Amino acid sequence: MPSKLNDPAPAIVLVTGISGFLGGHIAKQLLAAGYHVRGSVRSIGVCDRIRRQLCPDTATEAVSFVQADLCSDAGWDVALRGCRFVIHTASPFPATLPKDANLMIRTARDGTLRVLRAAHEAGVARVVLTSSIAATNHGNGQAPFTENDWTDPASARATPYYRSKTLAEQAAWTLAKETGLDLAVINPATIFGPLLGPEHGTSVGLIRQMMSGQLRRVPRFGFSVVDVRDAADAHVRAMTHPDASGQRFIVGGRFFWLRELAAVLARSFPAHAAHLPSGEVPDWMVRAMAPFSARSRMIVHELSRDLSVSAAKAQRILNWKARPDEDCIRATAQSLIGHGLIAAA
């Protein structure tokens, strides 16, 4: 039986989380490649805004929307009707520790299983799941972390977000093994890059805080980065590459300490340099603050820890290539200025 992955007929791709940073860029690249995109949204009221961001210069019937919620079975059969592929990006991402960690974890895990079960029942050719290096970097491994590494959900290092991504991905692999669902997983690093609109999430919000003078000093904490356009490209490549089936792929580049991130911004936007962080908070002080600060508790176990990753597998199998690492940092700041979210100096 011929594979449905590269069937020449026009394909419909369901993109969950299409209103999000990554989901929007994935949809934009799929449309540019000639796919029809169906986006799942919790509220139909956001559809006009998303359509304008995806297709600012032309009206198109290649993008449509369906209402479906990760917490409900309703709507997913309709969302998947006629789809050849699913790219599942939707997942909760809190800016600080959630009040109900178990609820967030259940939403991520059960929502993923709900989408994957519906995809299996609909007979899709492949599901590409967005996981995270949050599911690789916080276990017993050592940097640079690879796809062989897993976060330990029982570890004190595993914040609710890290646990949610790890448990959701592990549940997805279990379901795929049980049902025969063709699954590929992308584990992006911390995502930066240009915004499609003024709405933004936690990672972009960090750059906004830095550029606006809200962070005078930063902890000795860091992460690997990836441009949202490159993360989207990895999803699109994994969707049809025959060797992506049953594989997880880390996509990320250089590891930056927060002070190094600030230095890139200062060099690139000298008029904003006075607003940027100019020093580091000692580890002992962050640990002392942790009992009273949710933000400190989120990073206290990763202070001064190298959390760099290797994207060699994605480069080798998917022929994935990333932009220069500093470009995504600069693009984020420029986009924030362009959308009026940071005052132009």
Please tell me the distance from the alpha carbon of residue 122 to that of residue 103, in angstroms, as a whole number: 28
Query: 76: burial class by Cβ within 10 Å (0-12, 13-18, 19+)?
Result: buried
- 165 assigned to active site: yes
Count of other CB atoms within 10 angstroms of residue 33: 12
> Which of 4, 99, 165, 313 is labelled catalytic?
165
Tell me the three state secondary structure of residue 279: strand
Backbone angles phi, psi at 306, to 5 degrees: -75, 115
For residue 123, is it left (φ>0), alpha (ψ between -120 and 50) or beta? left
Q: Please, are residues 152 and 139 in contact by the beta-carbon 8 Å criterion?
A: yes
Q: Please, are residues 183 and 176 in contact by the beta-carbon 8 Å criterion?
A: yes
Q: Please, are residues 90 and 15 in contact by the beta-carbon 8 Å criterion?
A: no
Q: Please, are residues 276 and 211 in contact by the beta-carbon 8 Å criterion?
A: yes
Please tell me the distance from the alpha carbon of residue 3 to that of residue 98, in angstroms, as a whole number: 43
Q: Please, are residues 199 and 164 in contact by the beta-carbon 8 Å criterion?
A: no
Query: 119: burial class by Cβ within 10 Å (0-12, 13-18, 19+)?
Result: buried
Please tell me the distance from the alpha carbon of residue 12 to that of residue 119, in angstroms, as a whole number: 13
Tell me the three state secondary structure of residue 296: helix
For the chain, the first-to-last Cα distance in angstroms comes to 61
Please tell me the distance from the alpha carbon of residue 271 to that of residue 277, in angstroms, as a whole number: 14
Q: Name the nearest CA neighbour of 187 among 172, 202, 208.
A: 172
Point out the residues that are catalytic: 165
